[in-house]
């Protein structure tokens, strides 16, 4: 299997969908915008293999969590903009709380190990 | 979104033409263009920026595929795969065609044979609750199934508690008067409840009334559907009409349904109640009636058997019947009907199964070789982003398509074969195998074919998939197909070929043994010369030939008139033709010897003086009969060698006297001659003792005429029939045939011939497939080792040593296959030993011949690739790739 370029830490598996949903809560964005936004907000720590956004976006579309429409960008080029739907917002809530629980749990385990 | 909405969306994407793909491409292109621009703004050279953008984006093809997978229906990729598979076929039609043909043949043969097995052994008899129908008969130590005498039947019926009904049947012949003269027809005399026991109701008219089967009952007859159809043109008003059987009027009271058949009665057309008895049929020691019974609920066949066995013993004591100890046999009726063909069918099914196995192995290795040659393609597709699952699915789809097409073709082949084989069964035999009607495509054979298709699909589909998962994509790309990966296939392919060769050996050995059995069977000493003999059966109506003088006059007239026909050397009469049946037996005593109740059973034939000389039988001692041995003289007999050896091991039999009950009268016969054994019974049974009496001293209205001709006997048959009708138009004349045809048509010859031919056919296919498989493996191995061979030769290896290299591999495979096959074939032959005649399962000659044949074929098959290897030009080989 050919694997991606892994210079930086990989995303935690399963978090890409959540990140996309979260990014879209601020404003509708096209794929490139989403990738850029994730990169900026994470201070360049989280880089997705940019292409892998697209299968994920198709998945979200199919689930009905995002909507897509073709619009013009500021530079006057046609791009597909993704908007969060109500269902997507609900899903984001679920995923975020699950994620927080997991992070908290991991944190507890890690801190415990250090004290011992 | 709920699953249904998701499905609708997927479908709309599927049918949205290329819109989804186009939009996705546009989106991705836009993305890359943005990155590129940004990099250029950041000061990168346009060219470098483009590559960087592409790198940053990742594998577009793969991502596109992944995106597709998200929205695709499961079926969509299947359709793609199917289309791809079909393209593969058109690119390489030879492979697909070969594989489909092999599968179709292998599966088709199995389905066809299974059709027969199903009809004969699995499907139930066409009666209500057939599992409760039993064949109920006497038995003794020598004969496991022996008919009942009528008085015994009545007592069994009265005393038993196991059967709700017990009936008997007895075959008989009649002369049917038709506008064009008398025609001999087959009839069956049955007790009154016969059809009720079978739970068969006439289609037209009625069943017998109670009491119609008592002595003195009316002349009534029920017709078979066939008789109604062929003799009376399906007349609706037939019931109530009369027919003339043996010059007596019988009232037609019913017509049996079309589906009715009763195998033991063959094609019997006229069913009459048992209400007339000859004098000896009233005797307790005249065994002429076969019984069937319907078990009461909850009674097992065993329980019923032991009950009637007790009754049989009681009756033997009560009536002080001498001879062998009586017992009873109660076996399912189905066993009687299909018992003979069971070992053959099972043997054939085994053979077909082996052939199927070979076919599957062959196709699997074909597919393997093919997948091997597509390693590069797979590697490239993998590198371009096809996931392993996707690749495996592609191969599975291709395999399934192959297997399904092959299976469909096999259904066609199978149903064709079934028709052909059922058609090849001679009519006379088919009449006793009503289950042949049930042979064909039905739920059972369909399910069987489906099951085979499933197995074949699994095999063909999983082999290359297994092969794929063992292999790293990078290996495939990296080098030109040598190294570790191909060893896997080489080993698997070689093992498969060993299996194929071993199976081929088993089938070849089986075919060899069956062929030898057939040869031995057809060459058993007959004791006479069957060539240039014409035969015909004659039935003289009782009403015309009432007294002995008339009957004897008829014999003389027939022999005289036939003998003077041009082309005829001599003619004789016998009560029964040779090589048919060890029936019509007699229990004898030797006069002047103490008699201790032993049962001395011998074949009994009534013959005219010319009969044995016409057969060219050899006189050993004494004399044959003459015209003077007639009813006015004391009884005389000619015996065969077996009888002479059995009863007169030390004395001269000529002059001794045999005593028996002839037609209910104690009689004495003086032995006047000993004839070398004439085979009276079937070919595959040892000749029992036999006695011949002059027909003019015994008389009988049913006999066969045997004529020795100068030319081909068949040409004389119409003349014989014509002459007999000239002598008396009321004579029933039937079954005209040459003696050779009669022998060929006997059950023993047919069964052995059919099994030998069928297994021979299987073996031929197996041999071809096995040898082709071997060729494939060796040729493949040589093509893989071309470079190695080139190096060897460049380093000074002789051509002969290259030959040796290749042939050693072939020899090893063949040797292993042969060794395994020979061991297995002894085991397999033991399983079919019931079908063997005059040859042992471990017959060394057969096994050696098989080994030699397969060895030679294998060597020939591997010689071609060996020669190709030896003619490799080292420079070319090294430069290749």
Cβ(B173)–Cβ(B310) below 8 Å: no
Q: What 8-state DSSP symbol labels residue A10?
A: P
Across B412-429, average pLDDT: 83
Q: How much is the pLDDT for B296?
A: 93
Across B304-329, average pLDDT: 86
Across B790-809, average pLDDT: 85
Reported confidence tier of residue B425, pLDDT bands at 50, 70, 90: confident
Residue in chain B lying closest to A52 (CA): B63
Q: Answer whether A11 touches B (CB < 8 Å).
A: no
Q: Answer whether A16 touches B (CB < 8 Å).
A: no
Taking the C-alpha atoms of residue B77 and residue B783, their distance in angstroms, rounded to an integer, is 35
What would you report as the CA-atom Rg of chain B, rounded to the nearest whole angstrom? 38
**Contact flag B27-A30 (C-beta cutoff 8 Å):** yes
pLDDT digits (tens, 9 = 90+) for B475-503: 555 544 444 445 655 567 777 788 888 98
Measured in angstroms, the CA of B87 and the nearest CA of chain A are apart by 26
**Contact flag B59-A78 (C-beta cutoff 8 Å):** no
Taking the C-alpha atoms of residue B19 and residue B251, their distance in angstroms, rounded to an integer, is 84
Residue B707 has pLDDT above 90, yes or no: yes
Residue A116 has pLDDT above 50, yes or no: no
Reported confidence tier of residue B283, pLDDT bands at 50, 70, 90: confident
Q: Select from B540, B875, B880 the least CA-distant residue to B699.
A: B540
Average pLDDT value for chain A: 80
**Contact flag B71-A78 (C-beta cutoff 8 Å):** no
Reported confidence tier of residue B679, pLDDT bands at 50, 70, 90: very high
Cβ(B345)–Cβ(B113) below 8 Å: yes
Residue B716 has pLDDT above 50, yes or no: yes
Contacts of A85 in chain B (CB under 8 A): none
Residue in chain A lying closest to B24 (CA): A54
pLDDT digits (tens, 9 = 90+) for A17-48: 888 899 898 888 888 888 888 888 888 777 66
pLDDT digits (tens, 9 = 90+) for B526-578: 999 999 999 999 988 887 888 888 899 999 999 999 999 999 999 999 999 99
| Cross-chain CB nearest to A59 (options B31, B70, B387) | B70
Cβ(B382)–Cβ(B473) below 8 Å: yes
Q: Is B733 exposed, middle or buried (0-12, 13-18, 19+ CB in 10 A)?
A: buried
Across A53-81, average pLDDT: 86
For chain B, how are helix, strand and coil distributed in percent, rounded to 5? 55, 15, 30
State the Cα angle at B690 between B737 and B562, rounded to 5°: 35
Q: How much is the pLDDT for A9?
A: 54
Find residue B688's DSSP bridge partners. Answer: none
Across B571-592, average pLDDT: 87
Reported confidence tier of residue B664, pLDDT bands at 50, 70, 90: low
Cβ(B114)–Cβ(B356) below 8 Å: no
Size of interface A-B (CB pairs under 8 A): 77
Q: Helix H segments across B15-92?
A: 19-41, 46-57, 60-71, 74-91
Residue B349 has pLDDT above 80, yes or no: yes
Taking the C-alpha atoms of residue B412 and residue B108, their distance in angstroms, rounded to an integer, is 7
Taking the C-alpha atoms of residue B491 and residue B553, their distance in angstroms, rounded to an integer, is 82
Residue B597 has pLDDT above 90, yes or no: no
Taking the C-alpha atoms of residue B627 and residue B560, their distance in angstroms, rounded to an integer, is 12
Q: Is B737 exposed, middle or buried (0-12, 13-18, 19+ CB in 10 A)?
A: buried
Residue B7 has pLDDT above 70, yes or no: yes
Q: How much is the pLDDT for B475?
A: 53
Q: Virtual CA dihedral for B551, B557, B560, B564, nearest 10 degrees?
A: -150
Across B365-393, average pLDDT: 76
Q: Where are the beta strands (DSSP E) in B458-616?
A: 533-539, 568-574, 585-587, 589-590, 601-607
Pair of tokens at residue B441: 């495509």
Across B333-361, average pLDDT: 84
Q: How much is the pLDDT for B483?
A: 47
Q: Answer whether A80 touches B (CB < 8 Å).
A: yes
Q: How much is the pLDDT for B221?
A: 94
Does the interface predicted TM-score (ipTM) exceed 0.85?
Answer: no
Across B439-446, average pLDDT: 84
Cβ(B202)–Cβ(B255) below 8 Å: yes
Choose from B13, B27, B28, B68 for mutation: most chain A CBs within 10 A: B27
Residue B77 has pLDDT above 70, yes or no: no
Residue B6 has pLDDT above 70, yes or no: yes
Contacts of B5 in chain A (CB under 8 A): 64
pLDDT digits (tens, 9 = 90+) for A72-108: 888 888 888 999 999 889 989 988 898 889 888 888 8
Residue B323 has pLDDT above 50, yes or no: yes
Reported confidence tier of residue B218, pLDDT bands at 50, 70, 90: very high
Average pLDDT value for chain B: 85
pLDDT digits (tens, 9 = 90+) for B375-385: 777 778 777 77
Pair of tokens at residue B71: 């929205």
State the Cα angle at B339 between B336 and B345, rounded to 5°: 150
Q: How much is the pLDDT for B652?
A: 92
Taking the C-alpha atoms of residue B396 and residue B403, their distance in angstroms, rounded to an integer, is 10
Kind plus residue range of the DSSP H or E element containing B660 = strand B657-662
Across B406-423, average pLDDT: 88
Across B583-589, average pLDDT: 82
Q: How much is the pLDDT for A4?
A: 40
Across B126-155, average pLDDT: 86
**Contact flag A49-B58 (C-beta cutoff 8 Å):** yes
Residue in chain B lying closest to A65 (CA): B1
Residue in chain B lying closest to A63 (CA): B1
Measured in angstroms, the CA of A77 and the nearest CA of chain B are apart by 8
**Contact flag A79-B62 (C-beta cutoff 8 Å):** no
Residue B795 has pLDDT above 90, yes or no: no
Choose from A49, A50, A77 for mutation: most chain B CBs within 10 A: A50
Cβ(A91)–Cβ(A59) below 8 Å: no
* Lowest-pLDDT choice from A77-81, A110-114, B452-456, B817-821: A110-114
Cβ-count burial B602-641 (b if 16+ within 10 Å, e if not): bbbbbbbbbbbebbbbeebbbebbeeebbeeeebbbbbbb
Reported confidence tier of residue B21, pLDDT bands at 50, 70, 90: confident
Reported confidence tier of residue B709, pLDDT bands at 50, 70, 90: very high
* Lowest-pLDDT choice from B141-155, B275-289, B379-393, B620-634: B379-393
């Amino acid at each position: 299997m050919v694997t991606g370029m892994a210079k930086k830490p990989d995303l935690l598996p399963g978090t890409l969908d959540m990140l996309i949903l979260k990014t879209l809560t601020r404003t509708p964005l096209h794929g490139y915008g989403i990738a850029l936004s994730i990169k900026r907000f994470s201070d360049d720590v989280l880089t997705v293999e940019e292409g892998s956004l697209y299968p994920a976006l198709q998945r979200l579309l199919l689930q009905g969590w995002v909507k897509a429409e073709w619009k013009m960008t500021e530079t006057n080029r046609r791009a597909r903009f993704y908007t969060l739907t109500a269902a997507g917002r609900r899903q984001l809530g679920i995923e975020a709380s699950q994620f927080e629980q997991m992070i908290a749990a991991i944190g507890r385990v890690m801190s415990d190990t250090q004290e011992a | 979104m709920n699953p249904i909405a998701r499905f609708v969306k997927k479908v709309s994407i599927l049918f949205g033409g290329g819109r989804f793909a186009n939009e996705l491409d546009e989106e991705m292109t836009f993305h890359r263009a943005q990155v590129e621009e940004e990099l250029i703004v950041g000061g990168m050279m346009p060219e470098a920026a483009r590559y960087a953008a592409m790198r940053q984006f990742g594998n577009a093809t793969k991502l596109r595929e992944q995106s597709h997978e998200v929205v695709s229906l499961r079926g969509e990729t299947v359709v793609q795969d199917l289309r791809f598979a079909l393209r593969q076929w058109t690119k390489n039609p030879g492979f697909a065609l070969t594989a489909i043909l092999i599968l179709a043949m292998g599966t088709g043969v199995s389905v066809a044979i299974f059709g027969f097995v199903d009809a004969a052994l699995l499907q139930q008899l066409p009666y209500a609750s057939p599992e409760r129908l039993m064949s109920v008969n006497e038995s003794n130590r020598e004969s496991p199934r022996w008919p009942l005498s009528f008085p015994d039947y009545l007592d069994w019926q009265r005393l038993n508690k196991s059967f709700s009904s017990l009936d008997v049947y007895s075959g008989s012949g009649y002369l049917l008067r038709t506008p064009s003269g008398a025609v001999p027809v087959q009839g069956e005399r049955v007790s009154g409840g016969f059809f009720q026991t079978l739970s068969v109701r006439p289609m037209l008219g009625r069943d017998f009334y109670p009491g119609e089967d008592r002595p003195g009952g009316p002349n009534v007859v029920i017709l078979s559907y066939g008789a109604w159809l062929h003799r009376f043109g399906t007349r609706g008003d037939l019931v109530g009409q009369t027919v003339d059987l043996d010059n007596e009027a019988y009232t037609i009271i019913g017509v049996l349904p079309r589906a009715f058949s009763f195998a033991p009665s063959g094609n019997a057309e006229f069913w009459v109640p048992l209400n007339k008895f000859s004098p000896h049929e009233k005797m307790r020691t005249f065994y002429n009636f076969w019984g069937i019974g319907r078990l009461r609920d909850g009674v097992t066949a065993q329980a019923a058997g032991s009950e009637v066995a007790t009754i049989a013993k009681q009756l033997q004591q009560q009536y002080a019947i001498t001879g062998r100890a009586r017992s009873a046999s109660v076996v399912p009726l189905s066993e009687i009907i299909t018992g003979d063909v069971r070992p053959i069918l099972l043997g054939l099914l085994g053979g077909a199964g082996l052939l199927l196995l070979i076919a599957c192995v062959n196709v699997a290795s074909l597919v393997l070789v093919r997948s091997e040659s597509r390693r590069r393609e797979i590697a490239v597709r993998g590198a371009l982003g096809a996931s392993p699952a996707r690749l495996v699915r592609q191969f599975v789809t291709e395999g399934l398509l192959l297997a399904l097409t092959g299976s469909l073709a096999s259904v066609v082949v199978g149903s064709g074969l079934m028709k052909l084989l059922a058609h090849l069964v001679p009519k006379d035999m088919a009449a006793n195998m009503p289950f042949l009607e049930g042979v064909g495509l039905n739920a059972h054979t369909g399910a069987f074919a489906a099951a085979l298709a499933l197995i074949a699909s699994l095999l063909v589909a999983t082999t290359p998939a297994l092969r794929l998962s063992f292999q790293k994509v990078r290996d495939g790309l990296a080098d030109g197909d040598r190294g570790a990966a191909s060893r896997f296939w080489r080993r698997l392919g070689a093992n498969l070929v060993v299996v194929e060769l071993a199976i081929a050996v088993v089938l070849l050995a089986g075919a060899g043994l069956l062929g030898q059995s057939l040869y031995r069977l057809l060459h058993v000493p007959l004791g006479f010369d069957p060539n240039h003999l014409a035969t015909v059966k004659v039935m003289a109506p009782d009403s015309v030939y009432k007294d002995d003088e008339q009957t004897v006059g008829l014999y003389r007239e027939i022999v005289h008139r036939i003998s003077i026909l041009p082309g005829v050397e001599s003619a004789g009469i016998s009560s029964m033709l040779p090589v048919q049946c060890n029936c019509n037996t007699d229990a004898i005593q030797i006069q002047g010897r103490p008699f201790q109740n032993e049962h001395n059973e011998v074949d009994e034939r009534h013959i005219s003086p010319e009969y044995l000389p016409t057969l060219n039988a050899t006189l050993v001692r004494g004399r044959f009969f003459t015209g003077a041995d007639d009813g006015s003289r004391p009884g005389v007999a000619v015996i065969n060698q077996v009888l002479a050896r059995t009863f007169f091991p030390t004395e001269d039999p000529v002059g001794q006297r045999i005593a028996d009950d002839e037609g209910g009268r104690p009689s004495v016969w003086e032995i006047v001659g000993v004839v070398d054994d004439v085979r009276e019974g079937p070919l595959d049974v040892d000749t029992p003792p036999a006695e011949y009496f002059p027909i003019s001293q015994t008389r009988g209205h049913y006999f066969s005429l045997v004529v020795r001709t100068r030319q081909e006997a068949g040409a004389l048959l119409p003349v014989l029939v014509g002459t007999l009708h000239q002598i008396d138009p009321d004579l029933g004349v039937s079954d005209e045939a040459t003696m050779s045809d009669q022998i060929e048509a006997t059950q023993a010859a047919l069964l052995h011939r059919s099994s030998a031919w069928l297994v021979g056919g299987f073996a031929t296919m197996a041999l071809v497939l096995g040898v082709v498989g071997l060729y494939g493996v060796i040729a493949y191995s040589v093509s893989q080792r071309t470079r190695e061979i080139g190096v060897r030769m460049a380093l000074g290896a002789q051509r002969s040593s290259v030959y040796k290299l290749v042939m050693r591999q072939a020899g090893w495979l063949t040797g292993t296959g042969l060794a395994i096959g020979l061991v297995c074939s002894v085991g397999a032959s033991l399983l079919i030993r019931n079908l063997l005649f005059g040859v042992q399962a471990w017959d060394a000659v057969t096994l050696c011949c098989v080994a030699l044949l397969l060895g030679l074929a294998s060597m020939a098959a591997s010689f071609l690739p060996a020669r190709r290897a030896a003619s490799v030009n080292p420079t070319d080989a090294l430069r290749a790739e």
